[in-house]
Structure 1
Amino acid sequence: MISAGLFTGLSSLSGNLLTLYKLKQDGSFHDQQEILHELRELEAGNAHQRGLQQETQAARNRIHEAAIGNAYEVERDWRQAHIGIQVKAIQDRMDRQLEESPFSYTSDEFYSLVHEATRGGQVPALLVAPFFRDNLSGQENADGPHSFRVAVRRKWLQSSWSSDLVSLDGALSRPLTNTDVDIFQIQRALRDLPVVLVYGEVQSSTRVWPALCAWNIVDSPELRSVQVNFPPLSLPDASPQTPATSASLLSFEDELGGSTAITAGLIAEWFHLVKYGRMPRLHTLIPASLASERRVIAAGLAASFEVALERSRIDPVSARVGQASVYFDVGLRTHAIAAASQALTLAESEASGTSTDSVRRLTAIFDSLGLPGEAARARLALESVARRAILRNFGWGNR
């Protein structure tokens, strides 16, 4: 076998011989030499021209590539600068928000914290802001002393109804220096979560203006928020010459903390009744010595039954029985009889949805009020309600 290299050489030589033979056949040797010379010069010129073209194209390619690279670098630098400006603007805005905000978190972080603590709003949050002192600068207020916060928080935790709200002490890092704007920021950050906020101002170190604000307690367009402004209270004499200054001030703070705990508890009762239909209990947990406070609370709780009824959380009979029970517990006999009588009329009218438990409680209320005739009517109504319930369970309707 002839190797591939040898075969290639022979083929090239054969081609050259054929070319030379053709040239000899077509003209004289001299002419043939001139033709070959011209061909060689033409080929050399073509090769040179091709080289120039290739170099020109290569130069163009290099220029184009350089332009592309330069444009990319320019665009990259512009993008990086633009991103840097945006990041700086966002960071400045966040820093400004954190500096001006009454809480030490971003709005999203603050919402997430309260959302988790309240199990998605199943229980309202209790936020306590240190009281603002008008004789201190903004920084001095931020640095302290954080007046009344300890007393308000401790009185709430000591109350028998402390589980009705989730206390989040420390969520607010400073007094509400810009009261209305700060409250608006807190409301905007917490959006749909139920919140009870306790705050206040100390005027000239002699007078205290306590306040309480709550929102999302009752799902009603007419009652999106509740504002309670306590009457101004005079601080005890804080002069060094007064021997009992510290004891008087502590007693004053404790009384104020107790009042806010009761008020926050009343708002919490509204929430649990209107949202879950839970019967109120706050008026029974307050010491009997606070008879006036118990009656005021009972009146507020009786009104909450109207809202719960409007929201279809409880049936009409249960609402009136609940009102009668609350009034009876605090000694408002006339009001209790009026509410119980309305409940009895509804129960006797065979209104659908009446529960046997409500009518049974109504019977007990009439017995406690010393009204045997109404109690007997209530027992007959109870039998009728129970019979209708059994018939409905068997699908026989109200026969």
Structure 2
Amino acid sequence: MSIPFVDIFSGISDMTGHLIELYRVRRDGSFFEQQQFMAHLREEEAAQAHKRSLERDALVASQSTDQIEAATKSDLDKQIASAGLEIAVSRIIRSDEINHQNSVFRYEVDKTRSLIESATAGGTRPAFLIAPFYHDHLSDNDNDHGPHSFRVAIRRSWKSKGWHNDVGLLDGLISRPLRNTDTDLMVIQQDLHDLPVILAYGEVQDSTRVWASLSAWNVAFHDGTPAIHVNLPPMYIEPGDEDSGVTSRLAFEDALGDRIALVAGTLAEWFHVVNHGRSPQLHKLAAAQDGFGRRHLAFSTLAAFEVALQKATVSEFAARVEQMTTCLDVGMSEPARDMAVAAYELISSSAEELYRADRPRLRSLSAGLASLGRADLADSTRELLEKRARKEVMDFFALGDSIAEA
């Protein structure tokens, strides 16, 4: 260890004093006095050296104590930090174990999200998830690992519909019934909060009554809107004899699958109308006897276009023409006439609206007005369409508005 600065400065000070005294004795004293002084000087130097040694040892000891204390404190801090890390890791592992035990998904959340993102084709269509139904007379273990009722019927019913491509079907991604119904729904929605999802699930009460439900989010509204929940009326499983029991059970499951497929199709149609302005098709594809009936499906689509207008997915003219066409498809003449007149007034009063409207919808409006008994407005619409066509030709050849009007 290097000599502390205090030893060096003390030695220099003592040496200076002794040299001055020695110079005085050599100048003024006798030889005996000089020898006596030298002996005294050596004794003094020895005493000073011993004193400096003691001071140095004390200083070194003090420094060693500080270092030991610092090292001890550092080791203690490391032990505390290590213990805290072990506790945090244990909590994380325990939390993961609990989440895994209670998870409704077959895979961990990141894998689940990746599969859903792929099924939705980048969010351009909803994902359709099917959960096994919960049986209230079974234990949680039997519900989780027993036969899962209705999934096959719901999946097969959906695949048989003309609108099955409106969603990305992911049956099997949810591995157990939603036995913690509200909590499970909340967890699923939190994990998939930013993805368009339609979820079918349900409960079987006393092996007799079936309650089916659907929940959907990011389907038709802005982000942050609560999920849409649809609770279907209960369906009763009729007891059958040994000969007809299996047949009646299959017929019941098929009917349940058709009902869920129709509601899921309605939610999917809302998604495509609201987010992409797609022309409605569910009311054309659904059979007249399906669930709510074609008119109810068409009426639902009318409301979807109002939401699309709020989101600026479609223009008002496009919305009114689509609403008119949908009403005509199911024989609702009065609302169809109202929508047709509203669309005509938009393009007849504004050249900007006229030139912005697409030609196929202009032709649809003209045909619709004619079928609704408004031949005068149908003729005016055709004239507006011809006027627009002339202007487009003039603009293409840069011939000017005056020639177009002539």
TM-score where L is the length of structure 1: 0.80
Q: What residue is the counterpart of 1:86 in the other structure?
A: 88
What's the secondary structure of 1:187's corresponding residue?
helix
- Distance change >3 Å, CA 24–CA 364, structure 1 → 2: closer
* Partner Cα distance (1:317, 1:215) in 2: 28
- Distance change >3 Å, CA 389–CA 26, structure 1 → 2: same
What's the secondary structure of 1:140's corresponding residue?
helix
Provide Cα deviations, 1:233-285, integer angstroms capped at 9, x if missing partner.
112437xx523433432332233222222221111111111111111122223
More moved, 147-156 vs 62-71 = 147-156
* Partner Cα distance (2:115, 2:60) in 1: 64
Alignment of 1:41-52 (within 5 A): 41-52=43-54
- Distance change >3 Å, CA 291–CA 94, structure 1 → 2: closer
* Partner Cα distance (2:380, 2:401) in 1: 25
Q: From 31, 35, 38, give the equivalent of 1:36.
A: 38
Q: What residue is the counterpart of 1:168 in the other structure?
A: 170
Q: What residue is the counterpart of 2:263 in the other structure?
A: 263
Alignment of 1:1-399 (within 5 A): 27-103=29-105, 111=113, 114-115=116-117, 117-219=119-221, 224-237=226-239, 242-287=242-287, 290=290, 293-350=293-350, 352-354=352-354, 355=357, 356-366=359-369, 375-386=378-389
CA contact (8 A) 2:328 2:336 kept: yes
Q: Give the C-alpha shift of residue 160 in structure 1.
A: 2.9
What's the secondary structure of 2:293's corresponding residue?
helix
- Distance change >3 Å, CA 351–CA 265, structure 1 → 2: farther
Q: What residue is the counterpart of 1:17 in the other structure?
A: none
* Partner Cα distance (1:226, 1:143) in 2: 29
Q: Give the C-alpha shift of residue 199 in structure 1.
A: 0.9
* Partner Cα distance (2:291, 2:28) in 1: 139
CA contact (8 A) 1:218 1:224 kept: no
* Partner Cα distance (1:223, 1:27) in 2: 109
- Distance change >3 Å, CA 24–CA 203, structure 1 → 2: closer
Q: What residue is the counterpart of 2:18 in the other structure?
A: none
CA contact (8 A) 2:262 2:291 kept: no
* Partner Cα distance (1:164, 1:207) in 2: 30
Paired residue type of 2:90: K
* Partner Cα distance (1:235, 1:370) in 2: 50
- Distance change >3 Å, CA 33–CA 264, structure 1 → 2: same
Q: What residue is the counterpart of 1:10 in the other structure?
A: none
* Partner Cα distance (2:55, 2:30) in 1: 37
Q: Which stretches in structure 2 are left out of the alignment for 5+ residues?
A: 1-21
What's the secondary structure of 2:243's corresponding residue?
coil
More moved, 198-207 vs 112-121 = 112-121
Aligned residues: 379
Provide Cα deviations, 1:277-316, integer angstroms capped at 9, x if missing partner.
1111222233466597323212212222222233332233
* Partner Cα distance (2:121, 2:72) in 1: 56
* Partner Cα distance (2:85, 2:51) in 1: 50
What's the secondary structure of 2:214's corresponding residue?
strand
TM-score where L is the length of structure 2: 0.79
* Partner Cα distance (2:23, 2:260) in 1: 123
CA contact (8 A) 1:125 1:168 kept: yes
What's the secondary structure of 2:220's corresponding residue?
coil
* Partner Cα distance (1:275, 1:180) in 2: 28
Question: Alignment identity in percent?
Answer: 40
CA contact (8 A) 2:259 2:291 kept: no
Q: Which stretches in structure 1 are left out of the alignment for 5+ residues?
A: 1-19
Q: What residue is the counterpart of 2:12 in the other structure?
A: none
